[in-house]
Chains A and B, each alone.
Chain A
């Protein structure tokens, strides 16, 4: 059997109780769009699935005094459609809209997208650029971790889905002179894994002329979602012009070091595309910040 028991707990407390009872033999399931195929192919074994997809604590998209809180159980479709996120976290709304297919987006959740621990995940890349923090609950209590600390390597998360539940993600809302954008390169526009995903968040000076802060996230170019920190540093304080951007993007593709991959393309091509995607996302993020 793929699993022996399927439980839909009525509360977060009940979910945690069941996980504790099963001593590592149970696992959290939200949308199941990654987990069920893995269980069908016997890439994972569980005795019990604990369905958290209807828990109220994992729902909701709210602006809490300038900090956006998104429940880990919110689906990609909800995130893509959210007027709040389209305005104040555009890169995330765009990333969520790019996941798989409409059917997958109606089921799959942002929490699952993170715990599945793929370095190019369409919501993880924007969340990294947005500086997101995760709230994780277990029988031992609550902890908050920066998103990048949740990744070990592809497919392996620091969130132990047999003992812990990712409950929410939080990041500062982008308003004023801040903007963001997401860019994706894939063989097809739907049902296609990314050759590269990129997300950019910019913070401009009041007169629109200088980069006060920039965050550049890209994947898959490493074992975990990647921020091009040297390129970010190169842009800080620089004028918003082609030359500064080109120099920084050259640094970005050097530090990203994408490798050749039979599915995703040659190293040469991907190095070049890191610059192209980041430039496109940067230009749109700047336009959004300026307006």
Chain B
């Protein structure tokens, strides 16, 4: 077992993990943060997207020990003080959630985009979510929701 220390959703966290644990499994199975989903397991769909030092990454491919001493954000970190993040509100208002499985990953990619580019064009939004596959919605509402959240 190894000790992993990281800053997770603004809190210092330390836990014992297997050396070959992947970040998605540590988040879901050990920390109970099941907002992050695993779909393809090989970094090809984006469902498992979290932020590592502010950058969107596919957590199913990340050895958990790579996060040693670093900052991780999951979808659970978006809401604060009982209030949904503007992106979350916008997704709901714009009908951008159907089965919801791609949604946490979409939200994290969107958050990373708005953090570095507060007023993206539609093309920039599409580029930012180009690593997040959705089987339900056809993407239109998701793009609209992100655009709307960016104007606030």
Can you list 6 A-B contacts with CB-CB less than 8 angstroms, sorted by A residue number? A1-B19, A3-B63, A32-B62, A37-B61, A100-B43, A189-B130
- Shortest Cβ distance from residue B67 to the other chain A in the assembled complex, whole angstroms: 11
Given contacts A8-B68, A32-B62, A106-B56, contact A37 B19 (CB under 8 A): no
Question: Which of B20, B22, B46, B49 has the most chain A CB atoms inside 10 A of its CB?
Answer: B20
Give Cα A281–Cα B132 distance, bound, in whole angstroms.
29
Given contacts A8-B65, A53-B66, contact A102 B20 (CB under 8 A): no
- Shortest Cβ distance from residue B140 to the other chain A in the assembled complex, whole angstroms: 17
A6 engages B41 (CB within 8 Å): no
Give Cα A101–Cα B55 distance, bound, in whole angstroms.
13
Q: Which residues of the partner chain A approach B42 to less than 8 Å between Cβ atoms?
A: 37, 40
Q: Which residues of the partner chain B approach A106 to less than 8 Å between Cβ atoms?
A: 52, 55-57
- Shortest Cβ distance from residue B142 to the other chain A in the assembled complex, whole angstroms: 15
B131 engages A190 (CB within 8 Å): yes
A32 engages B61 (CB within 8 Å): yes
In the complex, whether B109 has a CB less than 8 A from a CB of chain A is: yes
Contact of B2 among A1, A6, A107, A190 (CB under 8 A): A6
Q: Which residues of the partner chain B approach A5 to less than 8 Å between Cβ atoms?
A: 19
- Shortest Cβ distance from residue B25 to the other chain A in the assembled complex, whole angstroms: 11
Give Cα A290–Cα B114 distance, bound, in whole angstroms.
37
Contact of B66 among A32, A77, A101 (CB under 8 A): A32
In the complex, whether B127 has a CB less than 8 A from a CB of chain A is: yes
Given contacts A103-B57, A104-B43, contact A191 B109 (CB under 8 A): no
Q: Which residues of the partner chain A approach B58 to less than 8 Å between Cβ atoms?
A: 33, 103-104, 107
B63 engages A102 (CB within 8 Å): no
B34-50 toward A: CB 8 Å interface, digit per residue (1/0)?
A: 00000001111110010
**With A51-B65, A101-B131, A102-B131 already in contact, 14 other A-B pairs whose C-beta atoms are closer than 8 Å:** A1-B19, A3-B19, A3-B20, A4-B19, A6-B2, A8-B68, A29-B63, A40-B41, A40-B42, A51-B66, A103-B56, A103-B57, A103-B131, A191-B44
In the complex, whether A61 has a CB less than 8 A from a CB of chain B is: no
Give Cα A59–Cα B49 distance, bound, in whole angstroms.
25
Q: Which residues of the partner chain B approach A280 to less than 8 Å between Cβ atoms?
A: none
- Which positions in A face B, CB cutoff 8 Å? 1-6, 8, 29, 32-33, 36-37, 40, 49, 51, 53, 77, 100-104, 106-107, 189-191
Question: Which of A32, A103, A104 has the most chain B CB atoms inside 10 A of its CB?
Answer: A103
A36 engages B49 (CB within 8 Å): no
Give Cα A33–Cα B41 distance, bound, in whole angstroms.
11
In the complex, whether B18 has a CB less than 8 A from a CB of chain A is: yes
In the complex, whether B33 has a CB less than 8 A from a CB of chain A is: no
Give the top 9 A-B pairs by smallest Cβ distance, nearest first: A101-B131, A190-B130, A2-B20, A106-B55, A6-B65, A37-B42, A36-B61, A103-B131, A103-B58
Given contacts A6-B2, A102-B131, contact A33 B61 (CB under 8 A): yes
Given contacts A1-B20, A190-B130, A191-B131, contact A102 B109 (CB under 8 A): yes
In the complex, whether B128 has a CB less than 8 A from a CB of chain A is: yes
Contact of A6 among B19, B55, B109, B127 (CB under 8 A): B19
Given contacts A33-B43, A190-B130, contact A103 B62 (CB under 8 A): no
Give Cα A274–Cα B43 distance, bound, in whole angstroms.
29
B131 engages A37 (CB within 8 Å): no
Q: Which residues of the partner chain B approach A191 to less than 8 Å between Cβ atoms?
A: 44-45, 130-131, 133
Looking across the interface, which residue of chain A has its beta carbon closest to that of B129? A102
A49 engages B63 (CB within 8 Å): yes
- Shortest Cβ distance from residue B5 to the other chain A in the assembled complex, whole angstroms: 13
B130 engages A6 (CB within 8 Å): no
Give Cα A4–Cα B55 distance, bound, in whole angstroms.
27
Looking across the interface, which residue of chain B has its beta carbon closest to that of A191? B44
Give Cα A36–Cα B57 distance, bound, in whole angstroms.
14
